[in-house]
Amino acid sequence: MSHILTAFPLQASYFIATLLLILGLKRMSSPRTARNGILWAGVGMLIAVAVTFVYIPGVSELIIPGNSGQRLVLIFFAVAVGAVPAWWTGRRVPLTEMPQMVAIYNGLGGGAAGAIAAVEMYSGRAYSGSLAFPIIAVIGALFGATAFGGSVVAFLKLQSWMGSPRIPGRHFINGILSLAALALTLASIHPDWVSGLNLSVDVLISIFLVVSLILGIFVTLPIGGADMPVVISTYNACIGLAVGFEGFVVQNPAMIIAGTIVGAAGSLLTVLMARAMNRSFLNVWFSGFGDVAATAAAGGEARTMNAMEVRDAAATMAYSENVIVVPGYGLAVAQAQHKLWELVQMLQAKGVKVKFAVHPVAGRMPGHMSVLLAEAGVPYDLIYDLEEINSDFANADVALVIGANDVVNPAARSDKSSPIYGMPILNADQARQVLVIKRGKGVGFSGIENELFFGPNTHMVFGDAQGVITQMIQALKEV
């Protein structure tokens, strides 16, 4: 009875941490409350981790089997090894490199979940209870190892250290790897089923983990950069589920709660991202989107882009009534968000009404553009989602497209042969005039020619976004 009374504060702390995590996630659903939500969720996680470290002899063992004072020393050491470089890199990484940071941290989470599963399986503890324990432990290991391998590849691609190689027969290879992983998953759940193969349990588990890792690598290798937001959110969901599963195996409430919440949020985000691209989940992962040669103009005809001088583009916006800005990844690469906001403020001072249109999959990470604009100080009430602003383009004098590509490609509406046909886009082409800031005439990250760039009402302003916008600011001062 005394143990139950002593354990009550610990269990109550986990309950409070859970409430804070849920409320924090709820507040993250809006840009206005997102910062506050992150703090709430952070405090919740801090409480959950702190409670895990509380060691009361004779009580902690009842809550987390195997807990001991000696283990705390090792845990403190591991936390220090991970937290110090994470703190250092987290403070230094620019927002433009946030997607690759999220990808690699996702991968580390998956690797950690896979490592926990491996320890439980190698030690035999995962097989000491009911059949539910090895099932959950092995599925968690599959998710964790696969997500680790895939997330590392995603990081290398986003960091531009790796392309999207065309692997002959990749669907056949991935099919074989998937079947092998499935068979090894079943065998690892109940090693006695394959006792006739003369494989030790340790060898079987090792092969299972290696195949799961390779599966994640091979599935992710051919995926183009345009699909990376969905890839990242999918692996985020897998890692959350893996952590939740392993939390059940080691009976850690914090892992169960946090993992389940992250898994659910990641799954929902994946569905929403795929829906925003009007594509199924399987199409995103296995269609090889972007794995196409750059196409010339329709019918093989050579077409030209109409160029405009920076000064003329600035004057066009200065004498407009309504301007809609469409930011894309090119803005992030050029780190031009602050200059853009300065330009917009100058236009507003001249009486021009300016709005920002953000596509759900703009950038390389869910919410990438909204975070970038918020970091520059753009008020939230100037930022509109696709559904909110698409009808406004027809009444806009100018649509200023900065480094965006597929999300404004009219081929998504009109060309049934286009890989992006059916994808909801921002109707920038319906503005009376379209100004596109772009480095060159090449195709975008997906490898698809953009019909918008050849439109009769489109003018290209070639150059680095920051340099062009800086020149526009100077030109506006003279208007």
Identified catalytic residue from 406, 415, 429, 464 = 406
- Examine the residue annotation and report whether 415 is marked as an active-site residue of this protein: no
For residue 94, give the DSSP letter: -
Residue 244 to residue 100: CA distance in whole angstroms: 24
Amino acid identity at 441:
K
Sequence-distant contacts of 359-362: CB under 8 A, at least 24 apart: 359/276, 359/326, 359/386, 359/404, 359/407, 359/408, 359/425, 359/426, 360/272, 360/273, 360/276, 360/385, 360/386, 361/229, 361/230, 361/273, 361/276, 361/277, 361/407, 362/327, 362/328, 362/329, 362/404, 362/407
Show the CA angle centred on residue 246, arms to residues 244 and 250, nearest 5°: 120
Tokens, residue 448: 């698809």
| Amino acid code (one letter) for 343 | L
29-34's contacts with Cβ under 8 Å and 24+ in sequence apart are: 31/370, 31/374, 31/380, 31/383, 32/380
- DSSP codes joined into one string, 127-195: GSS-THHHHHHHHHHHHHHHHHHHHHHHHHHHTTS------TTHHHHHHHHHHHHHHHHHHHHSGGGGG
All residues at 6 or more sequence positions from 26 whose CB lies less than 8 Å from its CB, including other chains: 37
Active-site positions read 406
